[in-house]
């Protein structure tokens, strides 16, 4: 690495700039732009994510204080809060979504052989959503309750590496099951969901696509048992049945057979009932797959703690989606750097180190190697961690 470059510039070198400019051209992002390009906008917003800036004024003050270094950081245009606010408001957020998808594809290739705790040759996705509360007086488009605004962040997470593969941002009134209509189902993959996504017509579409689903049954689920499989009760499995829905509409929407598994969770003293269309895996493995659904909950808690997606720099829908997608791309970029540089530190530690070394002119590997991160990790043991 060139020791004359700042850590921020070295980090940004891991970005595929050619693909970024292709995404910009696709939506004519730089059309009639002379002084503050989309690349400048992206770098400014990435800087805000990495250094935990609270507002546009905060971003402007920090970058102007380091103005002699901005050119070497890759920022050519003059940064002002008005220019950045206007860029977030009017420049199409979809170009940052497309660029994030480029990074996601790259990260998935790097983490494809990582284990998530279950020895399974299939790709496993977990789907869930999180709600981000907003002020309805400012975010008029994000109506959720009568006097409350919110957006929902739906995420399809690849358990190998905890990489978000699909992210859909909607206002708070959208029902969870509607998101299943926007997914491109991958044959042979597993989709793990909670019972909020239990819709038999949509589950049958997954079944017809050659994929598998694992979800929980609702309490009022009526079924007809066809036969039962032998079980080992020492594993916690209480029954393993082949059933068909008995309710008229459920039977109409899902005419195929279902596998019903009842499992006793000794840790939480609860009984769980799972539904799946996979009849080959052991019942205990199905229960373990559903346990892995909590990876997406951990992902939501982690990004809310360590990325700027709860407080927004703009109030329009375009500004909110721009900020979220740039935050996601920064998250994936750091995951890529961790894998390529073979860093042992957790993602949390890497972000903390980057936040205080971005302006230093030192090789990026030295910035991580000189830190006594083992003691740091022990002191921060109560923090949420990913990529351990």
pLDDT of amino acid 275: 96
In a domain, 287, yes or no: no
Q: Which residues pair with 193 in a beta bridge?
A: 127
Token pair for residue 105? 């594809």
22 and 92 in a single domain? The answer is yes
In a domain, 73, yes or no: yes
Model pLDDT, residue 347: 85
341 inside domain: yes
Residue 299 counted as domain residue:
no
Asked which of 276, 294, 328 is the last residue of a domain, the reply is: 276
Same-domain pairing of 272 and 322: no
Query: What is the pLDDT, as a whole number, of residue 95?
Result: 96
Per residue in 9-51, pLDDT (tens digit) is: 999 999 999 999 999 999 999 988 888 899 999 999 999 999 9
* pLDDT on residue 101: 94
Same domain, 17 and 88: yes
Query: Has residue 297 been placed in a domain?
Result: no
Q: What's the structural domain count of the chain?
A: 2
- Judge if 323 and 261 occupy the same domain: no
| Residue 73 shares a structural domain with residue 14 | yes
Q: Which residue ranges of the chain lie beneath pLDDT 70?
A: 1-3, 370-388
Supply the pLDDT for residue 386: 55
Other CB atoms within a 10 A radius of the CB of residue 305 amount to 11
Task: Supply the pLDDT for residue 381.
Answer: 46
129 occurs within a structural domain: no
The residue assigned the tokens 């949420």 is 384
> 10 and 1 in contact (C-beta within 8 Å)?
yes
List, in order, residues 6 or more apart from 306 with CB less than 8 Å away: 348, 351
What is the span of the domain harbouring residue 45? 7-96+318-379
Q: What spatial distance separates the first Cα and last Cα of the chain, rounded to whole Å?
A: 26
Residue 121 lies in a domain: no
pLDDT digits (tens, 9 = 90+) for 59-79: 999 888 888 888 778 888 788
Note whether residue 160 is domain-resident.
no
């Amino acid at each position: 690495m060139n020791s004359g470059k700042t850590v921020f510039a070295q980090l940004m070198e891991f970005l595929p700039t050619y693909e970024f400019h292709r995404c910009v051209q696709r939506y004519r992002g730089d059309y009639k732009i002379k002084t503050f390009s989309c690349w400048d906008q992206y770098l400014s917003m990435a800087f805000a994510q990495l250094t935990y800036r609270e507002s546009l004024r905060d971003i402007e003050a920090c970058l102007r204080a380091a103005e002699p270094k901005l050119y070497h950081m890759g920022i050519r245009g003059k940064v002002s809060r008005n220019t950045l606010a206007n860029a977030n408001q009017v420049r199409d957020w979809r170009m940052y979504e497309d660029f994030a998808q480029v990074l996601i594809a790259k990260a998935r290739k790097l983490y494809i052989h990582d284990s998530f705790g279950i020895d399974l040759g299939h790709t496993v996705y977990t789907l869930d959503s999180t709600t981000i509360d907003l002020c309805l007086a400012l975010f008029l488009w994000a109506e959720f309750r009568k006097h409350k605004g919110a957006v929902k962040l739906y995420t399809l997470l690849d358990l190998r590496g905890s990489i978000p593969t699909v992210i859909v941002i909607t206002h708070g009134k959208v029902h969870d099951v509607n998101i299943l209509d926007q997914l491109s189902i991958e044959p042979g993959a597993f989709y793990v969901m909670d019972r909020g996504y239990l819709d038999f017509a949509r589950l049958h579409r997954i079944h017809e696509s050659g994929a598998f689903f694992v979800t929980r049954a609702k309490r009022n689920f009526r079924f007809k048992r066809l036969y039962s499989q032998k079980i080992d009760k020492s594993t916690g499995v209480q029954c393993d049945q082949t059933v068909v829905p008995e309710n008229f509409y459920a039977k109409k929407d899902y005419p195929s057979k279902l596998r019903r598994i009842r499992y006793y969770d000794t840790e939480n003293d609860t009984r769980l009932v799972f539904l799946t269309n996979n009849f080959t895996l052991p019942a205990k493995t199905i229960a373990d797959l559903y346990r892995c659904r909590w990876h997406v909950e951990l992902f939501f808690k982690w990004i809310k703690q360590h990325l700027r997606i709860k407080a927004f720099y703009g109030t329009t829908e375009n500004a909110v989606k721009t900020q979220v997608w740039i935050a996601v791309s920064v998250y994936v970029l750091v995951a890529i750097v961790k894998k390529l540089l073979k860093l042992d530190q957790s993602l949390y530690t890497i972000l903390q180190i980057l936040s205080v070394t971005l302006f230093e002119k030192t090789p990026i590997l030295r910035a991580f190697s000189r830190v006594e991160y083992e003691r740091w990790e022990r002191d921060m043991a109560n923090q949420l961690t990913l990529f351990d």
